[in-house]
Structure formats: C-alpha cells, structure tokens
Amino acid sequence: GEGEEEVGAVWDSPWGRGRPGWHIECSVMSRTHLGETLDIHGGALDLRFPHHENEIAQSQAATGKKFVNYWIHAGLLTVEGQKMSKSLGNYVEFDEVLKRGFNPLAFRYLAATAHYRGELNFTWTGLEAAQTALDKLYNELSTWDSPGKIGCAGYENKFEELVNDDLNLPGAVALMWELIKDKELPTSCKMVTLLRMDKVFGLNLAEIEELEVPEEVQTLVKERELQREQGNWVEADEIRNRMEQMGYRVEDSESGPIIRRAG
C-alpha cells in the first residue's frame, strides 16, 4: 500500500520512491564491512544466478575493481533424497539430532564425507553410520600414546595437498583412516599428525581422554593371556565375555592385547 512506501529504508529515485533489493543490500554490506575486493565469497549453489551475478555487476560498476577473487558455492542439503522444505514436511532442525542422542560432531563428520560443491543427502541411517565411525575413532585414539614431538610428514603433506585441492575433505577423511590403520608408525607420531588434521576437521580429537582400565580388567587380561598360552581357548573366551559385560573388549595384536571400550 501507499503507507508502506513511507516506512523504513525508503528513498527517492528517478523512478519514484522505493526500497533497495536484496542484491544491492549484499553489495553495500560487503563494501562497507569488508572492502571493495573480497578474497572469498561463499553461498549456496542456487545463488550463483541471479544473485551473485547481480552483486558482481553492481559492485564492479560502482568501484571499477574486481569484486571477488574466489567464489565458493556449496551444494544443497537434501533429506532422504528430497529437497528439505517445510512444505514437504521433511524439515529437520538440528535440535532433533540432539534429541535423538547423537553427538553433534557426528553431523560434522558426515558433512566432511561429502564434497562441499556436491549434494549432501541427510538420512538418519547415514548419521548413525557417521556416529559409529566417530565412536570408533575416539575409541581407537583413547588407547594411543600421548602426542610426541614429531608428526608423520608424508601423511601431513598428502593431507595438505588434498585440502588445497578445492577442499577435498572426503579424500582427507579417507587419508585419516589410512593413517590410523598404519601399523608401521608409532601412535605418538600419528597423534601429532591427527591433531594437526583436526584443525581442519574440528572433531575435538584433543579432548579424547586416555582410556583408564580398572585393575580388575587388567588382571583378567593377564589371566586370559595365560589361558591362551596354555591352549585353553574356552576359558580364554569366557574371560573375554566377562570383560565385555564390564564394558571392555580385548583385541589381540602382534604387540600384545589391546583393551578398548566395548560397543
């Protein structure tokens, strides 16, 4: 109505009174707060045209300078293969993830397994798989030695190459698991490198507490080793079951038994 043209952000123009559109709002905010040329401008893939093209046209016409050095367009988040929207009734709020008992970092892990320019299809099954992978990661690292003084340069160089290759996080996640499974390197060295990787992943790996194994469980591990040496496999399996009931499991390796949290 006529009254609306007099309220708020309204100005005179050669074409009558009017309000700025959202394209010019973004150009003005960018220039005011960040300057005439931005290093990186992000946004969803569906904003490339017309919104971002309009921003470029307006900004470069106003300043005569390049508006943005790097455009980063993210793919869309779908739910069970469909576009997330309230009209479809498939709109998932993050609170729902927390209500269902997921670690919020499981979603971050899930997001890292898809390239930012591709589509990320959210499913509860996929989130469960991400939570399982994250638990496995935390569980593994809780048995490692504290970080030493040097990392694993080969892995760190590969990681840097992947991140510099248009932020290839799916490749970086695969490399992280390759490092974890590498039996040739000491865990103190691997931990240094993982903590460096985590500056990109943001999975709070520095906060993982070393696994404290009760004395009773340690005694059972020794007893099980004794039974195994004597070939008493049934007794050894019974001890393993008792440990699992107490919340711990044992894995046999060349360097001796490794104790982990069960589950």
Q: Inform me whether the pLDDT recorded for 196 exceeds 80.
A: yes
Q: Where are the domains of the chain?
A: 2-74, 76-210, 215-261
Render pLDDT for 23-79 as a digit per residue (tens, 0 to 9): 999 999 999 999 999 999 999 999 999 999 999 999 999 999 999 999 999 999 999
Render pLDDT for 93-151 as a digit per residue (tens, 0 to 9): 999 999 999 999 999 999 999 999 999 999 999 999 999 999 899 988 988 988 999 99
Could you tell me what percent of the chain has a pLDDT over 90? 73
pTM: 0.75
Q: How confident is the model at residue 1 (pLDDT cuts 50, 70, 90)?
A: very low
What is the DSSP code string of the chain? -GGGGGSSS-B--TT-SB---HHHHHHHHHHHHH-SSEEEEEEEGGGIIIIIHHHHHHHHHHHSS--EEEEEEEPPEEETTEE--TTTT----HHHHHHTT--HHHHHHHHHTS-TTS-EEE-HHHHHHHHHHHHHHHHHHTTSPPP-S---HHHHHHHHHHHHTT--HHHHHHHHHHHHH-SSS-HHHHHHHHHHHHHHH---GGGPPPP---HHHHHHHHHHHHHHHTT-HHHHHHHHHHHHHTTEEEEEETTEEEEEE--
Write down the architecture of domain 76-210 according to CATH: Up-down Bundle (1.20)
